[in-house]
Structure 1
Amino acid sequence: MKLIIRKLKYSLLLVLLLNLVNCYYNPLVQKVLVPDPKEDSSILLGLPLLGLTPTSIAISITGQIRDETGAAVPNAILTVNSRSNGLDGLDSSATTDSGGRFFIHLSTGSTTFAVTKGGSSYFSFTLLVSSPLDIRVTEIKDNSSLVEVSSFFAYPPGNQPSFFELTDSGPKNNTYVENAPSMLSFYFSDIILLPEDEVPYSTWFSENILITPPVSVESVSIQGQSLHGMPDGFVNETYTISLGPGIRSQSGTPLTPRTISFTCGSSCGLPP
């Protein structure tokens, strides 16, 4: 009896092994377990359709030009000298507005611009657009005055956004002043929206403009497109002044945040 049971076990095991072998060589199962290399290559060829390889596209962007003191550069003309990807409908030039901003329709890839101001050559730069979130300058040439090209944003074609910009300041950015400034002055690209009636100007100033290290600012006044205040407490130190988006234009556009820096010399803090 035991011998019969043992033979039955071996027979069942043999049948199971044969079924597994036949299953592996079944054409349908074989196709799943060992795919056809030709089919694999066809899948790889389809990857560009999924956007997995670089493809040039048209994109509308804005950027800003400032001079070495941080002042916006209006009426500068940008002319395209060369581009790595040519597409139909791209712009060949642009002009900066009162806030130093230019708006232009480009393709992804590299574009080199020549910039002129007042009819004279100003500088040239190369802009690399990798995606709407990755726009940067890779090279600036003939830049004896150390201009700044920055503040890039992409926007939907035909829907140009509005900006409210700091156009100049006193003290100016990246400067050295020997004596403590008696007045802080800020100039904007549009009329400033006044604080609400119950908010003192000095409170509004401290809520929207951060000075580090801190100094007190009194006698704040707003006059159209300019803002002024009388500071007290400057010493021999490097200061940063950060202006936030709580400052708005009369039309309600928030200020593009901006930080300026200057150094107060050895006479700062001394009695006049």
Structure 2
Amino acid sequence: MNRHPKLPTSIVLVCLWFLLGNCYFNPFVQPIVNPEVKEKTNPFLGLLGLGGTSNLVITGQIRDANGVAMVGLALVPSSVSIQSKSTLPPYTTDAGGRFYIPYQSGKLNFDVFKDGLPFFTLALNVSGPSAITAETSGAPAGLEISNLGTLDPTNPPNFFDLVKVSGLDFTMNELTLHNAEVNSFIDSFVFTFSEAPIPALTPGPLVTSWASQNISCFPTVIFGSTMTVTGNTITIQATPSSNTVNYECTFKSGILSASGKPLTQRIIRFFFNPPV
């Protein structure tokens, strides 16, 4: 009976040395010595779970037509989606209206529920970590899907968000500001945040200075010297300077939470049209 000749041990060792030592064939060494070979093109590393986008999380915010963060919405992966990483649905929006979903590319479909009832459907089109768009079906007019992006969950998110902006008239009735026509005189602005803001400032010039530095409005809003903080809410004296005018106010990152987080910058717009 013919037998296959055995290869000398020295030849076998040489072959192993060549395969493991040669940078071109070694999947561990190749992306280090040859950076032009992108991580995403190395399926061997992907199978090992090394690097890439596997650890990213998709985030975004949902607000209603008045710019109010929608808290407690449940995003449930739709049955028409192949979402292998969506193993722990539903994903519930937090105090800032933010959702967090395991990253994967393609079109991700979700049924969104409010108070346990179907609300609308959401599709996220994910072309890359910085290329994410949203589509909705059946959503109320004016609903906003914004601030879409990705996060590294090993670095906990550090968001401090403006959840709601409203005004108070002279009889303390609450008025919607964002995307609204305001037909009453305003005595104060009320800002609600995702967590407790800075402690209240002592009434006086310091309040006016703080407001002018951190809230930029055009045309000008005249801020008074009184400011109170209750829970997650700041109330501050404020009066628009002109009637029948479109206002745009930018809330800046100089506004801090009690724990020191900077505010995520936010812009609101309203039309001030009080009675003559």
Shorter chain as denominator, the TM-score bin is 0.7 to 0.9
For 1:264, which of 264, 269, 272 is the aligned residue? 272
Match of 2:127 in 1: 130
Match of 2:165 in 1: 169
Structure 2: which amino acid aligns with 1:70? G
Match of 2:75 in 1: 78
In the alignment, structure 1 segments of 5+ residues that lack a partner are 1-46
Deviations 1:40-95 (A, max 9, x none): xxxxxxx9976469x99533122111111000111110011157664456543200
Distance (whole Å) between structure 1 residues aligned to residue 136 and residue 256 of structure 2: 32
Q: How many angstroms does 1:144 deviate by?
A: 2.5
Equivalent runs, 1:12-91 vs 2, <5 Å: 51=40, 57-58=53-54, 59-81=56-78, 86-88=83-85, 90-91=87-88
Distance (whole Å) between structure 2 residues aligned to residue 264 and residue 67 of structure 1: 20
In the alignment, structure 2 segments of 5+ residues that lack a partner are 1-35, 47-51, 167-175
Give the structure-2-normalised TM-score. 0.71
Give the structure-1-normalised TM-score. 0.72
Distance (whole Å) between structure 2 residues aligned to residue 232 and residue 148 of structure 1: 26
Structure 1: which amino acid aligns with 2:243? V
Matched, 1:102 2:110: no
CA RMSD of aligned residues (A): 2.8
Match of 1:7 in 2: none
Match of 2:191 in 1: 186
Of 69-78 and 155-164, deviating more is: 155-164
Q: Pick the structure with greater CA Rg.
A: 1
Matched, 1:237 2:237: no
Q: How many angstroms does 1:178 deviate by?
A: 1.5
**Quick one: structure 1 residues 49 and 154, their matched pair in 2 at CA, closer, same or farther if it must change by over 3 Å?**
closer
Distance (whole Å) between structure 2 residues aligned to residue 210 and residue 76 of structure 1: 31
Distance (whole Å) between structure 2 residues aligned to residue 102 and residue 62 of structure 1: 5
Q: How many angstroms does 1:162 deviate by?
A: 2.5
Match of 1:249 in 2: 257
For 1:144, which of 122, 125, 140 is the aligned residue? 140
More helix by share: 1
Report if the CA contact (8 A) 2:68-2:164 is conserved: yes
SS of equivalent residue, structure 1 residue 107: coil
Report if the CA contact (8 A) 1:210-1:241 is conserved: yes
Distance (whole Å) between structure 2 residues aligned to residue 227 and residue 50 of structure 1: 47
SS of equivalent residue, structure 2 residue 209: helix
Deviations 1:153-206 (A, max 9, x none): 311134331311111111431111122322211111111124787970110011
Structure 1: which amino acid aligns with 2:244? N
Structure 1: which amino acid aligns with 2:251? L
**Quick one: structure 1 residues 244 and 88, their matched pair in 2 at CA, closer, same or farther if it must change by over 3 Å?**
closer
Distance (whole Å) between structure 2 residues aligned to residue 233 and residue 211 of structure 1: 10
